[in-house]
Amino acid sequence: MTDFPERDLPPGRHHLLKEHLLTEIRQSGATEAAPKKNSKIWFRPALATGAVAAAVVAGVLVASPFGDQAAQAGPPSKETVRMLEQIAAAAEKQPEPKGLRDDQFVYIRTKERYMETGSDETARIQPLHVREFWESVDGKHTEVVDDPVDGFDHERWAPDLPLTESDSHYRSLQKLPTDPVNMRDWLYRVSSGGESRDQNAFVLVGDLCGGLMPPKQAAALYLAASRIPGVEVREDAVDAAGRRGVAIARENDGERQELIFDKETKQFLGERQVAAEDLPMGFKKGTVIGHSAVMERVVVDKAGRRP
């Protein structure tokens, strides 16, 4: 067993995160949405060199790793860009795991609860529970998931081959761009989900936050996120374990998705989905309709083996 170096609170999202359940309910007419094994939405970190992001906020241009490109006034704000720069710098400093083998697995344990619909088509929030996932390092070995609420009892998942460009296993992530411009292009090219291109790209950022990601790619990811319209920083957010942090958030179709980071270390803690307005399925504005907390992430030799 190999611990992921220096990450007590690893970047937080289990890439199996429950896909935007609210959106799926709207699109499918309130049918129950099952989590998708290879959804590229929501968890894995990576980081590049500490380049400074760029933005034009209130008409003021600041230094940018994006060359002559300049964002128009408006979100992301100057404060949001600065926070993402700090998150990127912290991620870039994380040591890359040494001696990582293709036949190993990244063990990710989370606390989480999300919205679901039952046979009566009534939306409800799941009880808080633990989810465990053993993710193949190279994506070519059988993985295991244990989630009592979703009915997975150490269920084995055969590899889904051939791997696609949007694959988020560690070996695939090592091939991603290490500069924010090309990383942003990649996000917009491979993300999907039925929302706007900006929202799909942001959801993919979140999908990458919780797994194991190479530091240079992680840095590029967070700097690229500073170029997604509508992204904002929120100073106070709470993950599923009750840990307070700062959130990088984006609102879409009545709900707000928050990626929560520790205020001091800037390490990813978890994510939260909040009703930004009264929702048609009965949830009032301000209701937390889904959240998670990454509690442990280490490398193990066998799927199904706990650290």
Indicate whether 101 belongs to any domain.
yes
Indicate whether 292 belongs to any domain.
yes
Tens digit of each residue's pLDDT (9 = 90 or more) over 260-274: 999 999 999 999 999
Indicate whether 305 belongs to any domain.
no
Please give the Cα distance from 292 to 270 (Å, whole number).
5
Indicate whether 279 belongs to any domain.
yes
Indicate whether 307 belongs to any domain.
no
Indicate whether 64 belongs to any domain.
yes
Tens digit of each residue's pLDDT (9 = 90 or more) over 142-193: 999 999 999 999 999 999 999 999 999 999 999 999 999 999 999 999 999 8
Could you list the residue range(s) of the whole structural domain that residue 218 is in? 2-300
- Supply the pTM of this predicted model: 0.78
Angle between helices 197-207 and 180-190 (to 10 degrees): 110
Indicate whether 213 belongs to any domain.
yes
Indicate whether 306 belongs to any domain.
no
Count of domains in the chain? 1
